[in-house]
C-alpha cells in the first residue's frame, strides 16, 4: 500500500476553469436580469474553495465517522423545509435565515454520501439482500423528502449515488435484475405520483412543439440558443435569446445554453472537456483507493458530479427531460457551489489520506 500525501492539482485546476467560465457566462446572462448575481457567484466560489481546502486538509474518515450526525441533521432540515420552507416557483426548497437562503437538498448529497460509505464499508461482499434494502432506505429517506418539495431532479441524484456505491460494494447481479424489474413495474404508478408540472415537462420532452408557449417553451428556446451559436458563437454579450430575455432560467439551470449560443460549439465543447477531465481525475481517485470507505465515498461523489453534468447538459439540448439540476460549478447558486467544492475537497482528502493499490 502507498500513501498519497500530495494534492491532485489537475482536479482543482479543472474546477477552477469551470468557475471562471461560470463567471464569464453569468456576466452575460445576468446583464438584463440582475448584474449583482456575478458578484454573489464570486463570493460563493470563494467560500466554496475555502471550505474545500478545510475539508481536504482533514482525513476523510472523520467525515464518514460523523456521517450519522450529518445525515440526521440534514433529514431534520429537509423536514423543516416541508413545514416552513421558502417557496419559489411553486416549490419549497430553501430555508431562509435573514438574507441567507440555504438549500438543504444540496447538503443532503454530501451527508448521504458520507453515511452510505460508512455503512456499506462495514458490509461484506457480495452484499446481502438485507444490506441492500437498508442502504436503499438510507438514500430513500432524504430522496423522498426532497421529492415532496417537489424536486425530482435532486432526489434522482441520490438514487444515482446509491446505485454507484452498492455496485462498488458488491451488489449481486440477481439483486440488480430484481431492482430493474421493480423499477419497470413502478413506472406506471410513478407517473401518477408526479406533480402536474412534472408530467407536463415529461410530455414536453417527447414533443415540445405540442405546447410551444407553455411546457415546451424553455426547451425550444434553449435549442434555438444552442443551435444559433454554430461553431464560434454569436460572441460574448451578444446572444439574442439571452440578451432579449427569451431564455428562462438562463442564469441557473440553463446557463449552458448561454454558453452554447455565445461561445458556439467550441465553447460548449470546452465545458464538456473540462467537466470530463474533472470526472476522470475523480474516477481515478476512486479506482486507485483500496480502503473501503474512501473508495465508496469517492464513488458516491463521482456519481453525483457525473450524473448532474450529464442530465443538465442533456436537458438544455432536449436529450433528456427537464428535471431542474444545476451544472456543477457553472450554474448560479450558493448552496450548490459550496457543496460541490466541498465534495471536491473530500475527493482530495481521499487522494491525500487514503491508500492505493
CB atoms within 10 A of CB 123: 18
Better-scored residue on pLDDT, 257 or 86: 257
Q: Quick one: DSSP state of residue 181?
A: H
- Long-range contacts of the stretch 240-246 (C-beta < 8 A, 24+): 242/28, 242/29, 243/28, 243/31, 243/32, 245/32, 245/33, 246/221
Q: Is the pTM of this model over 0.85?
A: yes
Better-scored residue on pLDDT, 33 or 277: 277
* Per-residue pLDDT at 69: 95
* Per-residue pLDDT at 1: 43
* Per-residue pLDDT at 116: 96
208 pLDDT tier (thresholds 50, 70, 90): confident
Asked if 74 contacts 104 with a C-beta cutoff of 8 angstroms, the reply is yes
Q: 149-169: per-residue pLDDT in tens?
A: 888 899 999 999 999 999 999
* Per-residue pLDDT at 91: 66
89 pLDDT tier (thresholds 50, 70, 90): low
CA angle 94, 99, 102 (to 5 degrees): 25
Lowest mean pLDDT among 16-25, 135-144, 187-196, 236-245: 187-196
The percent of residues above 70 in pLDDT, for the chain, comes to 92
Exposure b/e, 165-199, CB count within 10 A at least 16 = b? bbebbebeeebeeeeeeeeeeeeeeeeeeeeeebe
Say how far apart CA 279 and CA 106 lie, in whole Å.
Answer: 19
Q: 328-348: per-residue pLDDT in tens?
A: 999 999 999 999 999 999 999
Domain boundaries, the chain: 2-172+195-356
Per-residue cell: 356: 492505493
Assess whether pLDDT exceeds 50 at residue 2. Answer: no
Assess whether pLDDT exceeds 70 at residue 37. Answer: yes
Section 125-143 average pLDDT: 92
Section 177-189 average pLDDT: 72
Amino acid at each position: 500500500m502507498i500513501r498519497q500525501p500530495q494534492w491532485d492539482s489537475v482536479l482543482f485546476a479543472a474546477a477552477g476553469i469551470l468557475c471562471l467560465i461560470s463567471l464569464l457566462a453569468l456576466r452575460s446572462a445576468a446583464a438584463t436580469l440582475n448584474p449583482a448575481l456575478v458578484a454573489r457567484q464570486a463570493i460563493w466560489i470563494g467560500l466554496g474553495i475555502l471550505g474545500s481546502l478545510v475539508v481536504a486538509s482533514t482525513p476523510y474518515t472523520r467525515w464518514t465517522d460523523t456521517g450519522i450526525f450529518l445525515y440526521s441533521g440534514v433529514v431534520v432540515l429537509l423536514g423543516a423545509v416541508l413545514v416552513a420552507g421558502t417557496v419559489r416557483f411553486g416549490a419549497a426548497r430553501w430555508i431562509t435565515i435573514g438574507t441567507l437562503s440555504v438549500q438543504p437538498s444540496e447538503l443532503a448529497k454530501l451527508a448521504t454520501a458520507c453515511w452510505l460509505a460508512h455503512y456499506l464499508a462495514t458490509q461484506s461482499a457480495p452484499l446481502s439482500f438485507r444490506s441492500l434494502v437498508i442502504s436503499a432506505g438510507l438514500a430513500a429517506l432524504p430522496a423522498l423528502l426532497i421529492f415532496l418539495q417537489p424536486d425530482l431532479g435532486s432526489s434522482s441524484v441520490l438514487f444515482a449515488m446509491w446505485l454507484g456505491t452498492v455496485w462498488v460494494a458488491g451488489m449481486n447481479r440477481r439483486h440488480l435484475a430484481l431492482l430493474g424489474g421493480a423499477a419497470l413495474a413502478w413506472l406506471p404508478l410513478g407517473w401518477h405520483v408526479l406533480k402536474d408540472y412534472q408530467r407536463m415537462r415529461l410530455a414536453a420532452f417527447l414533443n415540445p412543439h405540442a405546447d410551444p408557449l407553455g411546457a415546451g417553451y424553455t426547451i425550444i428556446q434553449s435549442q434555438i440558443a444552442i443551435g444559433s451559436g454554430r461553431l464560434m458563437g454569436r460572441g460574448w454579450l451578444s446572444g439574442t435569446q439571452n440578451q432579449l430575455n427569451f431564455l428562462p432560467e438562463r442564469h441557473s439551470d440553463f446557463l449552458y445554453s448561454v454558453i452554447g449560443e455565445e461561445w458556439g460549439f467550441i465553447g460548449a465543447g470546452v465545458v464538456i472537456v473540462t467537466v470530463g477531465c474533472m470526472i476522470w481525475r475523480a474516477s481515478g481517485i476512486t479506482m486507485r483507493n483500496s480502503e473501503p470507505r474512501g473508495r465508496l465515498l469517492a464513488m458516491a461523489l463521482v456519481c453525483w458530479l457525473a450524473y448532474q453534468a450529464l442530465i443538465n447538459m442533456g436537458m438544455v439540448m432536449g436529450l433528456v427531460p427537464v428535471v431542474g439540476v444545476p451544472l456543477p460549478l457553472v450554474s448560479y447558486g450558493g448552496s450548490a457551489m459550496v457543496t460541490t467544492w466541498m465534495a471536491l475537497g473530500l475527493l482530495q482528502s481521499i487522494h491525500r489520506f487514503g491508500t492505493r493499490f
